[in-house]
Amino acid sequence: MSAVATWLGTDALGLRHPPDLRLLLPAITAWLTALGALSTPPRAAWTFAAVAGCVAVGVYAWIRPTGETVALTVVAALVCAATVAAVTGVHVSREAGSAAARTADLEREAEFEAVVREDPRSRSGTPRPGRAEWVIGSRTAWVRVDGREHASRARVVVLASDARWRGLLPGQSFRARGVFLPTEDDPLTSALVLVRGPPEQVTEPSGLQSLAGRVRAGLRQAASALPQPERGLLPALVVGDVSLLREETAEDFRATGMSHLLTVSGDILCWPVYSLA
């Protein structure tokens, strides 16, 4: 037993003792803080971060002489909360203040250049004529409105119809023109962009991305012989490719809190946002 535990990287003697739960409080605090910071203005998140940091210093100085373990646990939770709140506030502020977000607030059409962040995926829901069928997570480089070009490193989601969007790989840049619309439930995304037509001035993918694309395509082809839901689950679980995953299966994973198994980025959680008609 000791040899097995040592091989697994666990001290054999520790198996006889109760688990150390001191990191449970910081972990829970960090997750709750992230949820709260995403639903509040950045200024509120930064104020909370400052208060939590000051409280952490006070707790450490006040409780440590009498209970170091308790003090360190509480301080760790407060420091994690302060860090998460500050970082989340920075990301939310950056997206909300970007040129892409300002254009989306006006629901304007604009030309833009962006870099693909993830493999294009088919849109959930029932296909029908005139409906955008591809979802492409991207990050803009600039947005041109009324002839003026504004630098904008913002996260956007492109909704496109042309089949040529399907072949894009992460890391490729492109230019397009589309209508910028605000996002309602995703503060870390600046805009949804409705695009008609193909991408323009597409750059070549890197060698590594080309290789990764061939591997994913080969796995999709191999999985095509399987019935559903196995056909969509195999690429999703192995490489995070959810392009063949049925919406019912994705919804089951979301309902059970297991969507992290399908893709490291977790973007599958945002599918309902992109299912709008």
Domain map of the chain by residue range?
A: 17-96, 106-195, 216-275
Residue 64's contacts (CB-CB under 8 Å, 6 or more residues apart) are: 71, 72
Would you say residue 88 has pLDDT above 70? Answer: yes
Q: What is the topology classification, in CATH, of domain 106-195?
A: OB fold (Dihydrolipoamide Acetyltransferase, E2P) (2.40.50)
- H/E run at residue 238: helix 230-239
Residue 260: strand, helix, or coil:
helix
Residue 226 φ/ψ, nearest 5 degrees: -85, 155
Share of the chain above pLDDT 90, in %: 38
Would you say residue 49 has pLDDT above 60? Answer: yes
Looking at residue 276, its pLDDT comes to 40
Looking at residue 47, its pLDDT comes to 96
51 or 59, greater pLDDT: 51
Query: Tens digit of pLDDT for each residue in 197-206?
Result: 899 999 988 7
Helices (H) and strands (E) in the chain, counts: 8, 7
Looking at residue 175, its pLDDT comes to 95
Q: What is the mean pLDDT of residues 169-183?
A: 92
20 or 51, greater pLDDT: 51
Q: The pTM is what?
A: 0.71
CA distance 172 to 162: 17
Looking at residue 229, its pLDDT comes to 79
Looking at residue 185, its pLDDT comes to 81
Q: What is the mean pLDDT of residues 63-80?
A: 80
